[in-house]
Amino acid sequence: MIPVTETLIPPADAERSAGDVLLEVEDLAVEFRSDDGAVRAVDGLSYRVEAGRTLALVGESGCGKSVSSLAVMGLLPPTARVVRGTARYRGTDLLALSPTRHRAHCGTHVAMVFQDALAALNPVHTVGYQLTESLRSRTGTSRREARRRAVELLDLVKVPNAAQRVDEYPHQFSGGMRQRVMIASALALDPDVLIADEPTTALDVTVQAQVLRLLAEIQAERQMGLVLITHDLGVVAGVADDVTVMYAGRAVEHAPVRDLYAAPAHPYTRALLRSVPRLDSGAEVAGGRLPVVPGRPPAPGRVPSGCSFHPRCDMAQDLCRTVEPPLDDVAPGRSSACHFAAELLGGARA
Ligand SMILES: Nc1ncnc2c1ncn2[C@@H]1O[C@H](COP(=O)(O)OP(=O)(O)OP(=O)(O)O)[C@@H](O)[C@H]1O
Ligand code: SF4
Ligand SMILES: [Mg+2]
């Protein structure tokens, strides 16, 4: 059990005002040990999470969304290590803390709903017991008070009949309701920042929409900072304020969500957007099939020279094969790691 002292954990009720910078990740790089040596899974990722805003981290499978988040949380597997970068929570670099202090901050002020969360619920304990485990172990809350809080948390995530369901077991809950329980569990200590890793992929479309709406409501109500991780740009449209698109361990585009949808500044984002079904445009689903991004992303350790996206890019030129494009500002609040971002944006405006 982690001892809770004032010096270990800053006050839980520090005020949150819209726009406060809560979490700032800068130049994060993570490597895995492998038989072929060190393999870079995340390389130079930066993002910022503000109170009352939702940042979507988007990219295909394997681009580093989960690994970068686990690094921020201090929960990397033993074969991985942070080789560069900072993750400042209200100014304190979490990555420079001892493992004990790091874990004390995370789970308390920066919480995460894990990608395989549904499998994480223990079948032999009631939902209420599991919901308040962190509360009891970190704050010494009594069993009676913990149960009251568990009902409150189930109410918060809109589980009907919370006072009764708190004593039920996970198998008595549907997938959507179990995901709500996992969200409630992450909210138990009223975190400033919630990282939700693919919180809806295991759910059917209607339930996905409900869970996303719920997350957005809670985020707005509490002025929390939300990091929403997904491989699906369609999911973020109605929920996120800003989007960071990742490819092969790096951020390749960052933009406010509306700007990104209106005019992507990176060919990878453009390709991802083409694969999102659009109800307002029959042209996007010509022949009944959605276009997918051709080819596959590179495995870590096999990232191509120059622009890592060049083997799959329909705009690639010789320069792209040799010179890696930096993530540069291309418009207010927007950045892109493409040599031809200006042309892309210019073309969209023309
Ligand atoms: N335990 C591990 N050992 C070795 N490599 C790993 C390990 N976990 C992840 N990786 C590698 O790190 C890279 C980033 O993985 P990560 O899980 O962050 O991807 P992701 O973007 O979350 O993908 P997904 O959308 O499938 O969840 C991947 O290429 C993966 O192969
Ligand atoms: S730098 Fe070249 S290869 Fe990379 S995304 Fe831009 S145009 Fe495509
Ligand atoms: Mg993942």
Please name the residue that has the structure tokens 């890696």: 324
Q: Which ligand is nearest to the CA of 342?
A: 2
Judged by its nearest atom, the ligand closest to the C-alpha of residue 59 is: 1
Q: What atom of ligand 1 comes closest to residue 67's alpha carbon?
A: 18
**Interatomic CA distance for residues 61 and 45, integer angstroms:** 16
State the pairing for strand pair 110-113/328-331: unpaired
Considering every ligand atom shown, identify the ligand nearest to the alpha carbon of residue 232 and give its number: 1
Q: Nearest 5°: phi and psi at 43?
A: -140, 95
Atom of ligand 2 nearest to the CA of 310: 3
CA dihedral (274, 278, 280, 283) positive or negative: positive
Q: Distance (Å, rounded) from C-alpha 229 to C-alpha 147?
A: 30
Name residues contacting ligand 1 (CB within 6 A). Answer: 32, 41, 59, 61-67, 77, 79, 115, 231, 299-300
Is residue 256 helix, strand or coil?
strand
The structure tokens listed for 47 are: 């993002």
Residue 248 beta carbon below 6 angstroms from any ligand 2 atom: no
Closest approach atom of ligand 1 to CA 77: 1
196 within 8 A of 228, measured Cβ to Cβ: yes
pLDDT in tens, the chain (350 residues): 333 333 334 444 567 888 899 999 999 999 999 888 899 999 999 999 999 999 999 999 999 999 999 999 999 999 999 999 999 999 999 999 999 899 888 878 999 998 876 777 899 999 999 988 877 877 778 888 889 999 999 999 999 999 999 999 999 999 888 988 999 999 988 899 999 999 887 778 888 888 888 899 999 989 999 999 998 888 888 899 999 999 999 999 999 999 999 999 999 999 999 887 655 544 444 445 556 788 899 988 889 999 999 999 999 999 999 999 999 999 999 999 999 999 999 876 55
The CATH superfamily assigned to 19-240 is P-loop containing nucleotide triphosphate hydrolases (3.40.50.300)
Under a CB-based contact definition with an 8 Å cutoff, are residues 181 and 131 in contact? yes
Please give the single-letter amino acid code of residue 93.
Answer: D
Structure tokens at 77: 């597997």
Distance CA 164, CA 265 (A): 50
> Do strands 92-93 and 80-89 pair parallel, antiparallel, or not at all (unpaired)?
antiparallel
Q: Any bridge partners for residue 31, and if so which?
A: 40, 81
pLDDT value of position 89? 96
Structure token digits, residue 203: 């759910």
Q: How far is the CA of 337 from the centre of ligand 1 (A)?
A: 22
Q: Whose CA is nearest to atom 1 of ligand 1?
A: 77
- Find the helix or strand (DSSP H, E) in which 343 lies: helix 341-349
Q: Is 313 near ligand 2, meaning CB less than 6 Å away?
A: yes
What residue segments make up the domains of the chain, in order of their start?
A: 19-240, 247-277+290-349
* 229's tokens: 């991780």
Give the 3-state DSSP-derived string for 20-65, with helices as H, strands as E and coil as C.
CEEEEEEEEEEEEEECCEEEEEEEEEEEEEECCCEEEEECCCCCCH
Report the nearest-CA residue for atom 3 of ligand 2: 310
Amino acid type, 195: I
pLDDT of residue 1: 33
Q: Which two tokens stand for residue 235?
A: 């999911």
Separation CA 122–CA 129 (nearest Å)? 10
- pLDDT of amino acid 13: 52
Is the CB of 306 within 6 Å of ligand 2?
A: no
Q: Report the nearest atom of ligand 2 relative to the CA of 321.
A: 3
- 71-to-10, 30, 78 alpha-carbon distances in Å: 20, 8, 11
Output phi, psi for 23, to 5 deg.
-135, 130
Nearest to 243 by CA among 78, 59, 85: 59
Mutational pocket test of ligand 2: of 320, 330, 336, 345, the residue with most ligand atoms within 8 Å of the beta carbon: 320
CA of 305 to the centre of ligand 3 (A): 25
